[in-house]
Amino acid sequence: MTKLSVNINKIATLRNSRGGNNPDLVKIALDCERFGAQGIPVHPRPDERHIRYQDVFDLKAVIATEFNIEGNPTEKKFIELVFANKPAQVTLVPDAEGQLTSNHGWDTIKHQDYLKDIIGEFQSAGIRVSIFVDPMDKMIEAAATTGADRIELYTEAYASQYHSGKEAAIKPYVEAGNLATKLGLGLNAGHDLDLQNLSYFAQQIPGLLEVSIGHALISDALYFGLENTIQMYLRQLA
């Protein structure tokens, strides 16, 4: 069964908008686990506009499920943060500084040598490494030669095309999933997956290990409540 990881960046955004510690990010993370989340990803950015670097230390101390730190490893501070906390998984994302949200995967051909080096460093510390990629054969093939344990498919294109034709929208992701499996890569996915498009995606993608969902899930929780919403998402993966 595909695991549901609940990204709590948006909770941190809400907290930061007023200062203080309301909502309490650590309590929310623990409640997400209690309500059924099987992992907690966070994506600290250099401007700390949502997840703060101290949050990572606070969460690492209490998370009982899989802890996943996402970010750009070209930032020295990010690398230091990962080594200091040793999460179960680090997901490498090629975000530029100040970027609103992740909007593309790695060019795993252009950055092959760099990725090999940094992936090897993280793995030597016992950290599983996933890299964010678009569903393109050449990028997945090059991802495999970096030594990464997994790839995370960037699913914005699927989500944006789903309602106009889900069969066409899913096709490149099915092909990408098959290729990843053939090459021995574990398969994660994330970005704009929601209650409307998640079930079909999970049913069609072979070997899908984990989905990371934040914005849509937290938005749904405003209407349905956090516990109920997590259960609703888990049912989409059943």
pLDDT in tens, 17-71: 999 999 999 999 999 999 999 999 999 998 899 999 999 999 999 999 999 999 9
The predicted structure's pLDDT at residue 103:
57
The predicted structure's pLDDT at residue 99:
46
What is the rounded CA–CA span in Å between residue 213 and residue 217?
6
Active-site amino acid positions: 43, 70, 191
The predicted structure's pLDDT at residue 96:
59
% of the chain at pLDDT higher than 70: 96
The predicted structure's pLDDT at residue 101:
53
184: left (phi over 0), alpha (psi -120 to 50) or beta: left
Give the burial string for 155-171 (b: 16+ CB within 10 Å, else e): bbbbbeebeeebeebbe
Give the burial string for 66-90 (b: 16+ CB within 10 Å, else e): bbbbbbbbeeeebbebbeebebebb
Q: Which residue has the tokens 């997840």?
A: 51
| Global model pTM greater than 0.75 | yes
The pLDDT tens digits for 206-228 are 899 999 999 999 999 999 999 99
The pLDDT tens digits for 151-208 are 999 999 999 999 999 999 999 999 999 999 999 999 999 999 999 999 999 999 989 9
Q: What is the mean pLDDT of residues 230-235?
A: 98
Nearest to 134 by CA among 108, 110, 116: 108
The predicted structure's pLDDT at residue 206:
86
What is the rounded CA–CA span in Å between residue 163 and residue 121?
41
The predicted structure's pLDDT at residue 12:
98
